[in-house]
Structure formats: C-alpha cells, structure tokens
Amino acid sequence: MAIKIDRTPVRAAYVNARLLDPATGLDGIGGVLTEGEMIKAIGPNVTADMALEGVGIIDCTGLCLAPGLVDIRVHLGEPGEEHKESFASAGRAATEGGVTSMVCLPNTDPVIDDMSVVQFVARRARLQGLTKVYPYGAVTKGARGAEIAELGLLAESGAVAFTDGFTAIADAQVMRRAMLYAATFDLLICQHPEEPSLARGGAMNAGETATRLGLTGIPKQAEIIMIERDIRLLELTKGRLHIAHVSTAESVDAVRHAKARGLKITCDTSPPYFALNENAIGDYRTFAKLSPPLRTEADRQAIVAGIVDGTIDCIASDHLPQDEEEKRLPFGVAATGGVGLETLLPMTLELYHNGHLSLLGAIRLVTSAPADLMRLRAGKLAVGRPADFAIFDPDRGWQVIAKNLSSKSKNSPFDGRPVQGRAVRTVIDGRTVHVEQDG
C-alpha cells in the first residue's frame, strides 16, 4: 500500500543508507541531511546522533539512497487527453517509481509550440507538488513538420529541448533549418528516428515473425535511414542532436561512428529495447505494440552492448499511455505505446542484476546522465542542491501487474514480468511524496 503524504520534518536526517551518487562516484554508507528544500550535508557524518540537535531521523535500514530518477521522455495526456493521463496521475506514478524530474513531450492538445502552453505546463506541475515537470518545445508549429516554431522564445519561457515528439521531422530542409536555428542558441534537437513513408501502415518489426503473424512489417531501415540522414545534417549545421529510443544494431553503430568523428550527438533507449524482443508480441499482444517496434534478439543484444560501451547515453521510460479502448483492438489497428514510469527503475536495474553494469553505472543512466543532457539541476547528491532523491531496495522482488499501476492507462509491455528493485520512499524538495508500506 502506497502512502503519499509529507511527514518529513523541516530538518531531516536520512541515516544508515547506502549512498549512491554516480556524478561523483560516491558509493558508501552514510546519510543525507536536508533543511527546507535543500541538501545541507551528506556523508558518513550524518547520523542518528543529530536527533539531539532537533533533527528528525529517518532510518534507511541499509537501503540505497540515490538522486531521484530523471526521465527525459514522458507523454502526458494533459492538456487534451486527460482520460489517458493527467499531471496528477503521472505524478503519482512517477513518485512511486522514484522519478523526481521528468521532461514531457509536446504532443498535447494544444501542442507545446508557444510560450503560453509552456507556462501552463509549469503552473500545472507546480500545483500538483509531485514530480517536477520540464517541457519540450515543439520543433515545428503544431508538430506538423512544416513551419519552424519560435525556438528561442520557447527556450526563454522554459522549454529545455525541442522535438516533435513521437512524430519524425521528415522534411530534410525543415530539419536542416531547425538545426541551424537551434545551433544559434545552443539548443538541443531531439528526433524520433522513423522515416514515415517506410513505417506507414506497419504494425511490428518486419521479418519472419511479422510474416508468420500476418502483420505488416516496419523495416529497421526506417530508423537507420533517418539517423544517417540527420547525422549528415548535423555535420552541415554543427548543432546538437539527440536520437530518441534507438532500437537496432545499425542505429547504435551509426551513432557510435558519429561520436568517434567528434559530432555533438547523443542518444537514449528505453527498457523494452534492451529487455524484450519481437517475440514478446506472442499471440497478438497489443501491450507489446510500441513505436519503434520491438526488434530481433540480435538487435536487443546490440542495444545492451551500446549501453555498456557508452554509445547510448541514457535510458528513458518512453511513457506513452493509451486507454483500454485503443489497446484492446486487433493488433494491426491498436494504438502504439506503453507506460513506463513505475517500471523504469526495476528494468534499469536488470542491467545490474544481469551483470552488464555496476549498480552505480546503472543508476547513472537514469539520474546524472539525462540531467546533464538536458542541463537540469537534478540527478546529483550535493550540498546546496535540491533535496530530490529516492530510497530504494535494489533486490526487492515484485511482479508487474498492469491493473495495479498508478498510471491512468495500464498498457505496460512488462505486464506479468517478475522484476527486482523498488522505490520505498521518494523525496522532492525535502518533502516526502511517496512512502511504500507493507500491508
């Protein structure tokens, strides 16, 4: 049973914790002292003895205390599709998953393509008092891929980066102009890498499995062509480019080679692409219908290798809620996407439990790495920083049951999967916003 109330004293010491801070390499026993919204002290000197100084004590009982997770790819239904997700429901799901900061896609109604919508997002997030929300601005007006939005003004209003979300910027000339405009202000352009004419009408990864199921396939070249095109445009414009949710071996290779040439390119992936393959579709399981689609086992292994060697910079949930009416349809016409806020932590920890990464290395991919990419004041444990952190048990086993998730929509591709790792307390600006209790 999850309780989300603020019981934290004005001054609180979280003691007897395994402190994990990937930004500094910290991995040791100690505590964190908070005062108001900030971290006042950190390290082995923060102990229960501080109770004598009027400090409230929270015993972490040896559990891990790390910076709150930073999720850089979250779709919120609000405004426009509150029946799928809202700031409140997404905030609850995020805090239960240990996520203290998230960056929301601009594909709302209206699209986040002018200053008033950016400001609306900021106001609504503050009113909820849960996970901090930072907006992407749309690259093009209406995210329609034609006329470039006012990127500079959007950045001044609070947009942290720019993307057309789950719509690719297909026109090369538009992308070139957007990258030149963004480079002028040192802004980051994020691309959904899918050539739309190749993907149109497709339902899953093209190949033997699609043929056997009688489904129209999306060739992996739809992703690769877009990434290779944008790398050429990046060479031309000298800007900053981020590729979202890479899912193929060739995509990882393309980014790896571009980095070796010194280009300012980064990329992320999402848990389905390192934890699942196209066989998860099984008997037309629509919860496994995603964009990009689940790929082959060889691609999955290549994504893991890209994470391990650092080609893939961070992990994002790719949280895309869809209601039951849009998922419980024949596979070919069902909506794409899966929820992921509550499973981001345990799925990332699979990389640790499976021996691919150290615990600190796995946590870095969902804390300091995405925070640095988006230039957020998050993802680190440091004196003077906001007291945003998660206390979690990395070994706690549980089973993902979609109907029990806090997201309004329940379309998890990991439904039924046994996992390890769960947030037991989430703290934002020194306030406890989630506590997990037994019973």
Whether residues 173 and 266 fall in one domain? yes
pLDDT at 2 (0 to 100): 44
Q: Residue 340: name the closest of 129, 134, 98, 161 by CA.
A: 98
Helix (H) or strand (E) holding 38: strand 38-43
* 294 domain residue, yes or no: yes
Whether residues 420 and 366 fall in one domain? no
Whether residues 231 and 370 fall in one domain? yes
From 349, 374, 399, the end of a domain falls on 374
Residue span of the structural domain in which 224 resides: 67-374
Whether residues 25 and 93 fall in one domain? no
pLDDT at 3 (0 to 100): 41
- Is beta strand 56-59 parallel, antiparallel or unpaired with respect to 64-67? unpaired
From 344, 374, 404, the end of a domain falls on 374
* 380 domain residue, yes or no: no
* 381 domain residue, yes or no: no
Whether residues 213 and 168 fall in one domain? yes
Domain with residue 401: its CATH number is 2.30.40.10
The rounded average pLDDT for each run of 10 residues, N- to C-terminus, in the chain (439 residues) is: 52 97 97 97 95 92 98 93 93 97 96 94 86 97 97 96 97 98 97 97 97 97 98 97 98 98 98 98 97 98 98 98 94 97 98 98 98 97 97 98 94 98 97 82
The DSSP letter of residue 97 is T
Contact 243, 193 (CB under 8 A): yes
Domain with residue 350: its CATH number is 3.20.20.140
The residue type at 258: A
Phi, psi (5° rounding) for residue 426?
-125, 130
List the structure tokens of 121: 């997002």
Whether residues 314 and 416 fall in one domain? no
pLDDT at 438 (0 to 100): 60
Token look-up 């309780």 returns: 3
SS3 content of the chain, % helix, strand, coil (to 5): 35, 25, 40
Whether residues 197 and 322 fall in one domain? yes
SS3 label, residue 18: strand
From 374, 394, 419, the end of a domain falls on 374
Whether residues 258 and 222 fall in one domain? yes
Whether residues 237 and 169 fall in one domain? yes
Q: Residue 340: name the closest of 96, 169, 120 by CA.
A: 96
* 379 domain residue, yes or no: no
Whether residues 187 and 205 fall in one domain? yes
* 174 domain residue, yes or no: yes
Phi, psi (5° rounding) for residue 337?
115, 155
Whether residues 149 and 213 fall in one domain? yes
* 53 domain residue, yes or no: yes
Phi, psi (5° rounding) for residue 14?
-95, 105
Q: Over the Cα atoms of the chain, what is R_g?
A: 21
Q: Which residue among the candidates 164, 299, 313, 318 is catalytic per the annotation? A: 318
* 181 domain residue, yes or no: yes
pLDDT at 439 (0 to 100): 40
Q: How far is CA 385 from CA 42, 62, 87, 188, 365, in A?
A: 11, 23, 24, 24, 19
- CA 70 to chain CA centroid, Å, is 7
The structure's pTM equals 0.96
Whether residues 320 and 418 fall in one domain? no
The DSSP letter of residue 302 is H
Domain count, the chain: 2
Indicate if 318 belongs to the active site. yes
